[in-house]
């Protein structure tokens, strides 16, 4: 019985010590701030490793825009200038190229508003700084 | 939508519902899209009178292939200058568009054509189109090539023009661009005249905090201007005195005053413009100095919402003529977009 209690105590102690690290690795997302403005997203290209979780923080410099990642169910409205930001999380679990674009008709050049998320096949288990065309605003 | 009150010196003031625009968009698939823009200018279209215009400014299909290379065909906006592709009223300062974007770059400049567009990466992107050419029969001394737009209406394509733009949008708040238009002119009135138009342009916008600056320079070369003037003289009896070079530029600074809680905003602006549609004349023709103009435009825009703009400005226009004065103008405007 004592051995069982000792065994359980050791297991639980180990779990308590290790779990914050596990939690940190899983939960810490990579933060990418994107500014939307007729008719551009800045940055418009984000590169991360497979396994990363990206938290997009989306702001507008003018009207409200949409942020749609094609092929996913992510489609949010970015509020108008000075009216806050939208946050959306994208789990980069599949390598490849993912297009994002404005999904709310915003003017004559609406279809110019696009960008790309490049997910490289290098698997990562921790949050790492993404590469962006113009420097991420971590 | 653009609703104006214009009061030029020595003229009666006018209310003018200048533009009523309807935008359409449809996605056939994720990679095949349609965009359309139908615009009613000056509130009405009346038969046999030049009262207003109903214009199909955009109607194209995009074929999205890769980020670097996509195809587009239909009625397209010519990718020249700051305003032409980005002309919603809350997006620019002043009740009327800058003079340079009216008489040097004839916005809204749209034409039937096809081409490619895409992004090189690092914030660089481009557009390149082949389009119907300008009709030289519409050129004149005051507004340069503006009257030569064929607007995709049974456009004569005896020759084709090409146009392109490269821009850098890689830093938040910064946009730099350069663009051109090149093509032989057409014109059923005098098919034997061989003239060519080359328009080059550079522009930039930068916003940092409460300050925004924008500037644009455009220079147009018209090869064959003398022959055009002679042909007009022979056929119509009056020479239009078309220049072989026209050019214009402007500098604008805007300060966004933020005393109000969001979303309300107030922007104060000052713009200097210098534009000359008689900049260089062909041999044997003298420039009309009344068309060598400059303007100070100062005013404000109040945004009760980022998509609604209440505008006020006063334009002080000068020219180099000792005989003809240019009218100053007080303007009020209400523009909105949704």
Q: Does B40 touch chain A (CB under 8 A)?
A: no
Structure tokens, A16:
């308590």
Q: pLDDT tens across A39-94, in order?
A: 889 888 899 999 899 999 999 988 999 999 998 999 999 999 888 999 999 999 99
CATH T-level assignment (fold) for domain A30-136: Immunoglobulin-like (2.60.40)
Select the residue from B177, B306, B308, B337 to test the A interface by mutation, using most A Cβ atoms within 10 A.
B306
**Cα distance between residue A10 and residue A103, in whole Å:** 53
Burial B28-44 (b: 16+ CB within 10 A, else e): eeeeebbbbbebbbbee
**Cα distance between residue A41 and residue A60, in whole Å:** 9
Q: pLDDT tens across B73-87, in order?
A: 999 999 999 999 988
Kindly tell me if the per-residue pLDDT of A9 is higher than 80. Answer: no
- Interface A–B counts its CB contacts (< 8 A) at 89
At B305 the three-state DSSP class reads strand
Distance between alpha carbon B317 and the CA centroid of its chain, in Å? 19
At B194 the three-state DSSP class reads coil
Of A71, A81, A114, the CB nearest to B263: A81
Kindly tell me if the per-residue pLDDT of A134 is higher than 50. Answer: no
Q: pLDDT tens across B268-295, in order?
A: 999 999 999 999 999 999 999 999 999 9
Q: Which residues of chain A make contact with B86, given a CB cutoff of 8 A?
A: 38-39, 107-109
pLDDT for residue A20: 47
ipTM of the complex: 0.73
Do you know the residue count of chain A?
138
**Residue-range domain boundaries for chain A:** 30-136
């Amino acid at each position: 019985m004592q051995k069982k209690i000792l065994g359980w105590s050791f297991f639980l102690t180990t779990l308590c010590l290790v779990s914050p690290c596990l939690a940190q690795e899983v939960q810490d997302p990579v933060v990418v701030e994107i500014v939307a403005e007729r008719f551009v997203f800045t940055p418009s290209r984000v590169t991360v490793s497979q396994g990363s979780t990206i938290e997009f923080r989306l702001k507008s410099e003018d009207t409200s825009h949409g942020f749609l990642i094609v092929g996913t169910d992510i489609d949010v409205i970015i509020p108008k200038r000075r009216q806050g930001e939208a946050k959306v999380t994208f789990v980069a679990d599949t390598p490849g190229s993912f297009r994002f674009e404005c999904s709310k008709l915003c003017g004559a050049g609406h279809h110019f508003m696009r960008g790309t998320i490049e997910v490289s096949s290098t698997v990562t288990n921790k949050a790492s700084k993404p590469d962006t065309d113009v420097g991420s605003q971590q | 939508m653009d609703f104006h009150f214009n009061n030029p010196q020595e003229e009666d003031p006018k209310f003018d519902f200048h533009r009523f625009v309807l935008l359409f968009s449809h996605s056939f698939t994720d990679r095949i899209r349609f965009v359309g823009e139908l615009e009613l200018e000056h509130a009405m279209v009346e038969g046999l009178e030049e009262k207003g215009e109903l214009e199909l400014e955009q109607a194209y299909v995009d074929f999205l292939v890769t980020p670097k290379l996509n195809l587009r065909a239909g009625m397209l906006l010519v990718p020249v200058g700051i305003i032409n592709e980005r002309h919603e009223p809350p997006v620019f300062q002043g009740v009327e568009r800058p003079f340079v974007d009216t008489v040097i770059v004839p916005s809204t400049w749209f034409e039937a054509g096809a081409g490619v567009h895409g992004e090189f990466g690092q914030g660089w992107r481009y557009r390149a189109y082949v389009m119907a050419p300008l009709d030289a029969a519409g050129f004149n001394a005051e507004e340069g090539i503006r009257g030569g737009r064929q607007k995709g209406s049974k456009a004569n394509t005896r020759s084709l023009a090409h146009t392109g733009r490269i821009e850098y949008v890689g830093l938040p708040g910064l946009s730099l661009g350069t663009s051109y238009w090149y093509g032989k002119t057409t014109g059923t009135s005098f098919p034997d005249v061989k003239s060519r138009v080359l328009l080059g342009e550079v522009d930039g916008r930068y916003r940092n905090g409460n300050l925004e600056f924008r500037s644009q320079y455009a220079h147009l070369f018209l090869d064959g201007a003398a022959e055009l003037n002679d042909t007009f003289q022979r056929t119509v009896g009056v020479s239009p005195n078309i220049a072989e070079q026209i050019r214009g530029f402007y500098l604008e600074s805007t300060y966004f005053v933020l005393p109000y809680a969001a979303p309300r905003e107030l922007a104060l602006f000052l713009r200097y413009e210098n534009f000359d549609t008689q900049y260089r004349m062909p041999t044997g023709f003298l420039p009309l100095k009344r068309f060598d103009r400059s303007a100070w435009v100062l005013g404000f825009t109040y945004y009760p919402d980022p998509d609604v703009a209440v505008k006020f400005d006063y334009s002080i226009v000068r020219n180099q003529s000792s005989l003809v004065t240019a009218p100053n103008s007080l303007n009020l405007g209400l523009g909105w977009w949704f």
